[in-house]
C-alpha cells in the first residue's frame, strides 16, 4: 500500500456535484431494482444517486476493516486490515446482483470492492472516486486520483486553515 503523499479535500458541494455526474453516467444503464450502498462512505453518494435515478429501494453492505488497535492488540482476533462483513444478505434479496447498483464513495486498493463483487457478481459497481489499484474492479466512476492521494470527505473534516502547497513542501 502506498503511503498518502497528497491530499484531496472534498466539499459537500463538490461531492454532490460529482455524485450527480455519476448519476448522469448511470441513467442509461437502468432502470435498477435498487441500490446497495457500501457503508459508510457509500451512504451519501447512494442517497444522491437514488434521488437522481428515482430509485426507492436502498440497502447496505456493512463492512469493517480491523486494525490491531480495534482488536485491542489481541493476537488472533483480527489481523490488521482484515475485512469483516457486519451486514449484508445478498442471497435472499439481491441474488447474484442482476439489476442492482452498488455504490461506494471510493475504490482504493480494491479489497472491499473485490469482496462485494464476489457477493454480487452481476451487479453494476459504481464509485465517485477511483484509484488505479482498485479501478479495474468498478464499472463506472467519475474522478480518478493517484494511489498516493488521501481523499478527505466532507464528513471527515472540519473547516480550518491549511498551509499552501508550496509551504507544505518546505516543511
Least confident of 53-62, 109-118, 158-167: 158-167
- Our answer to whether residue 108 is catalytic in this structure is yes
Cell of 35: 441500490
Q: Which of 70, 82, 89, 105 is catalytic?
A: 105
Q: How far is CA 36 from CA 25, 68, 72, 113, 156, in A?
A: 17, 29, 31, 12, 22
Strand partners, 129: 106, 143
pLDDT tens figures, 99-115? 999 999 999 999 999 98
Mean pLDDT of the chain, nearest integer:
84
The annotation status of 104 as a binding-site residue, yes or no, is yes
Is 151 marked as a binding-site residue? Answer: yes
Residue 40 among known ligand-binding residues: yes
What is the maximum alpha-carbon separation in the chain?
A: 55
Q: Check if the beta carbon of residue 124 is closer than 8 Å to that of residue 102.
A: yes
Is 54 within any annotated ligand binding site? no
pLDDT tens column, 120-149: 999 999 999 999 999 999 999 999 999 999
Catalytic status, residue 105: yes
Model confidence at 73, pLDDT cuts 50, 70, 90, reads: very low
Q: Is 104 a catalytic residue?
A: yes
Percent of the chain topping pLDDT 70: 79
Residue 84 CA to residue 125 CA, distance in Å, equals 20
Q: Which CATH class is domain 10-144?
A: alpha beta
Q: Does the pTM of the predicted model rise above 0.85?
A: no
93 C-beta neighbours (distance < 10 Å), count: 13
Amino acid at each position: 500500500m502506498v503511503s498518502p503523499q497528497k491530499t484531496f479535500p472534498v466539499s459537500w458541494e463538490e461531492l454532490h456535484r460529482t455524485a450527480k455526474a455519476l448519476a448522469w453516467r448511470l441513467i442509461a444503464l437502468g432502470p435498477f431494482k435498487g441500490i446497495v450502498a457500501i457503508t459508510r462512505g457509500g451512504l451519501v453518494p447512494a442517497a444522491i444517486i437514488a434521488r437522481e435515478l428515482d430509485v426507492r429501494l436502498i440497502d447496505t453492505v456493512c463492512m469493517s476493516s480491523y486494525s490491531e488497535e480495534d482488536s485491542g492488540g489481541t493476537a488472533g482476533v483480527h489481523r490488521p486490515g482484515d475485512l469483516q462483513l457486519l451486514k449484508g444478505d445478498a442471497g435472499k434479496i439481491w441474488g447474484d446482483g442482476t439489476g442492482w447498483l452498488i455504490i461506494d464513495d471510493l475504490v482504493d486498493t480494491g479489497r472491499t470492492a473485490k469482496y462485494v463483487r464476489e457477493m454480487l457478481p452481476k451487479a453494476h459497481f459504481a464509485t465517485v472516486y477511483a484509484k488505479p489499484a482498485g479501478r479495474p474492479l468498478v464499472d463506472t466512476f467519475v474522478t480518478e486520483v493517484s494511489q498516493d492521494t488521501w481523499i478527505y470527505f466532507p464528513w471527515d473534516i472540519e473547516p480550518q486553515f491549511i498551509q499552501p502547497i508550496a509551504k507544505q513542501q518546505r516543511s
